[in-house]
Amino acid sequence: MKTKKNFIYNLKEFAIKNDVPIINDEGLAFLLELITKYNVKHILEIGTAIGYSAINMANLDTKIITVERDYFMYNEALKNIKEANLEENIQVLYADALEVEINHTFDLIFIDAAKAQYQKFFEKFKFNLNPQGIIVCDNLNFHNLDINEVSRGTRQLLKKIQKFKDFLKENEEFETIIYDIGDGISVSKRR
């Protein structure tokens, strides 16, 4: 168990040193609790990065399909998943999530990719969700940045994230709770 903890720690350190966005500790703990609470066995992850969250989720004996469009990240994830000896649990697809076709259903869909595309991801992949499944989105507080104190580009992104949060709140098909945990996490379940 110690080597597994060391491996996770080293992965996290690599992410910090190389500015790779990964889920923070508080958000990860919450996500892992949800997997246990909802007895999740099959997960679709949008946004693999270096495989940090997928590896952590797979350690709970889940099967994961994860989608990554950045070739460098995709290769890092493959390397890390192999090193963690989790190739049986995690399948990494090198693709743009908005273009890939996935014909499986999942207990949990975890969206942690291009923030400006969250609504498109949500609407596309909700059809892959089991009836009792949940959709979890990370980074909805986006570092608690003040919209009046950021660059124009970041301001646009914050507006898109707010628009997505409004979409979740007004959605008649899904009931969503947004938790002020980690960097802001939403949990959506069909009504």
Kindly state the average pLDDT of the residues 99-111: 97
What is the pTM (predicted TM-score) of this model?
0.92
> How do 129-137 and 90-94 pair as beta strands?
unpaired
Distance between CA atoms of residues 173 and 66, nearest Å: 25
- pLDDT average, residue stretch 89-102: 97
With pLDDT > 70 as the criterion, what percentage of the chain qualifies?
93
Domain coordinates of the chain in residue numbers?
Answer: 2-190
The fold of the 2-190 domain, in CATH, is: Rossmann fold (3.40.50)
Phi first, then psi: give them for residue 150, nearest 5 degrees: -130, 170
- 5-9, 120-124, 132-136, 149-153: segment of lowest average pLDDT: 149-153
| CA–CA distance, 100 with 38 (Å, rounded to integer) | 27
pLDDT-derived band at 1, boundaries 50, 70, 90: very low
